């Protein structure tokens, strides 16, 4: 009896020691989808000055309200967090207090300024301090890989233990060190080759576990890749573009390796403070977080906040938006359509018209002089009309010659539900698209194959669609595609087209 009692007491004592320890939760944390979603709160560029108690209180208030109102499953911090003051160690302890105080898991990767706050506070020092956090999940990063906090966080399905998504934390490092491959070639450091190989190995591991199908993934790091510049120049990006992107001065090809893996659907960074845009680049969303910095607490144009990402269970989809205490949730942006809720606010009303059979009316025009044509209006005029009739959809199948002709297509398209849409007019040579009498896409002129998109809000029902097309010489094509929030891009089906009675 005494022996049994001793064993029981010993077991209880060991359990009490384990429960009272500050061991990070990463060894036991298991992420799962719930209600079909998994939410990530992205904190970027806090630039906390260690001793600024008033600003720390404001930042803590924002994080607590984010936890309460947005209900994230994890906070991911992408660097430049504690960057000033005399006591960076205390600054990081304050960060631990803030995020452990939410009761939620959190992860950290560093920026280029974190190890500059004090000369004696290195990245190693910071991660030693972070080991005292109770809810951090990536303090023990991938072994024998350059940098700190590199970690793949699998998210399981709600009702089984298979991996439904992966969240990658990647250290983009700070500045090249003497002896590094890129030393002297780039001001900012890059994601190193062994980190890239680590990501590829992890990606392949999850792919193998998923029957050879890539697992939808998102990545978080601090310094943007050069490809973010392309998104900034895309007029269809969503959000604030306030300063030039500042990637490394070299392109290591990391983005192309990611594309080859086929799993990544979004990558999010900080670093450039007045950028919070997101957009599409070669099928992957590239986006910035909203600056979470307490230095801009009085900024009425872009108050400090977080970027939320809501992954969808079993789908290669997510919604993202910026949340601030002052403004609440801003407009949502949807992957993979690239549409945003901005277009859902002003819908083009459906037409009150009676239609009959499916089909598209067309008029066919021929240019007998074979002179150079520069506009659809050069060919689509009564003097050039040689034929008219009904066809199934908008294409050049009714053409009787290779060059020097045009079409005028006229129909009603039945939009299945109200919401934001992307319409794409592709042609070789020129074309224009009118919707309900308004010029929506101008792809006119003499040119090779060119696709021009337009984002628009449409009410459910019938809309008058007219397309004019010009074939000058060499190559002939015209098509109209459509994409909805949860509808893949496709050529408008013939069954959507109707003739007016």
Position 481 pLDDT exceeds 60: yes
Half-sphere exposure of 254 (CA within 13 A, CB side): 27
Position 300 pLDDT exceeds 80: no
CA distance 63 to 46: 11
Mean local confidence (pLDDT), 354-367: 96
Mean local confidence (pLDDT), 49-63: 85
* CA dist 346 → 233, 417, 486 (Å): 25, 14, 19
Position 15 pLDDT exceeds 70: no
Residues across the chain? 501
For residue 9, what pLDDT is reported? 35
CA distance 206 to 212: 9
Nearest CA to 202 among 139, 161, 261, 277? 261
Position 439 pLDDT exceeds 80: yes
pLDDT tens digits along 171-195: 999 999 998 998 999 999 999 999 9
Under DSSP, is residue 10 helix (H, G, I), strand (E, B) or coil? helix
Confidence at 314, pLDDT banded by 50, 70, 90:
very high
DSSP string, 32-55: E-BTTEEEEEEEB---B-SS-HHH
Q: Any residues with CB less than 8 A from the CB of 178 and at least 6 apart, and which?
A: none
Contact indicator for 87, 51 with CB cutoff of 8 Å: yes
Position 374 pLDDT exceeds 60: yes
For residue 51, what pLDDT is reported? 67
Position 332 pLDDT exceeds 50: yes
Where is average pLDDT lowest: 289-303, 403-417, 418-432? 289-303
Which residue in the block uniquely carries the two structure tokens 């809000």?
457
Higher pLDDT, residue 175 or 372: 175
């Amino acid at each position: 009896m005494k022996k049994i009692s001793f064993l029981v007491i010993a077991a209880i004592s060991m359990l009490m020691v384990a429960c009272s320890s500050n061991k990070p939760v990463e060894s036991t944390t298991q992420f799962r989808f719930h209600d079909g979603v998994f939410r990530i709160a992205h904190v970027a560029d806090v630039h906390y000055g260690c001793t600024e108690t008033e600003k720390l209180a404001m930042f803590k208030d924002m994080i607590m309200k984010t936890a309460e109102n947005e209900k994230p499953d994890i906070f991911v911090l992408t660097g430049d967090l504690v960057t000033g003051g005399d006591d960076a160690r205390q600054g990081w302890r304050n960060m631990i207090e803030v995020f452990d105080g939410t009761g939620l898991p959190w992860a950290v990767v560093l920026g280029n300024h974190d190890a500059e706050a004090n000369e004696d506070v290195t990245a190693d020092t910071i991660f030693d301090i972070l080991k005292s956090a109770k809810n951090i999940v990536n303090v023990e990063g991938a072994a024998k890989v350059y940098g700190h906090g590199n970690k793949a966080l699998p998210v399981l399905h709600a009702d089984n233990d298979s991996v439904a998504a992966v969240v990658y934390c990647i250290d983009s490092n700070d500045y090249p060190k003497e002896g590094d491959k890129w030393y002297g070639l780039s001001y900012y450091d890059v994601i190193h080759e062994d980190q890239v190989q680590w990501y590829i190995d992890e990606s392949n591991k999850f792919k193998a576990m998923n029957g050879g199908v890539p697992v939808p993934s998102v990545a978080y790091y601090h310094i943007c890749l050069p490809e973010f510049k392309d998104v900034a120049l895309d007029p269809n990006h969503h959000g604030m573009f306030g300063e030039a992107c500042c990637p490394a001065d070299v392109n290591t090809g990391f983005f192309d390796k990611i594309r080859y893996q086929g799993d990544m659907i979004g990558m999010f960074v900080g670093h450039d403070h007045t950028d919070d845009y997101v957009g599409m680049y070669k099928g992957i969303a590239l986006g910035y977080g909203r600056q979470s910095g307490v230095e801009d607490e009085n900024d009425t144009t872009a108050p400090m906040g977080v970027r939320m990402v809501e992954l969808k269970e079993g789908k290669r989809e997510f919604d993202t938006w910026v949340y601030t205490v002052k403004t609440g949730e801003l407009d949502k942006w949807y992957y993979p359509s690239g549409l945003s809720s901005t277009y859902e606010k002003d819908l083009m009303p459906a037409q009150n018209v009676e239609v009959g059979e499916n089909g598209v009316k067309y008029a066919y025009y021929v240019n007998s002089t074979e002179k150079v044509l520069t506009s659809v209006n050069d060919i689509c005029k009564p003097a050039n009309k040689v034929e008219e009739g009904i066809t199934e959809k908008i294409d050049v199948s009714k053409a009787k010659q290779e060059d020097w002709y045009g079409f005028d297509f006229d129909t009603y398209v039945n939009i299945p539900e109200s919401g934001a849409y992307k319409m794409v007019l592709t042609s070789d040579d020129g074309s224009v698209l009118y919707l309900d009498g308004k010029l929506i896409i101008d792809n006119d002129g003499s040119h090779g194959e060119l696709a021009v998109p337009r984002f628009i809000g449409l009410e459910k029902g019938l809309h008058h669609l007219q397309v004019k097309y010009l074939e000058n010489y060499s190559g002939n094509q015209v098509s109209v595609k459509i994409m909805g929030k949860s509808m893949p891009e496709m050529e408008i089906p013939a069954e959507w087209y109707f003739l007016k009675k």
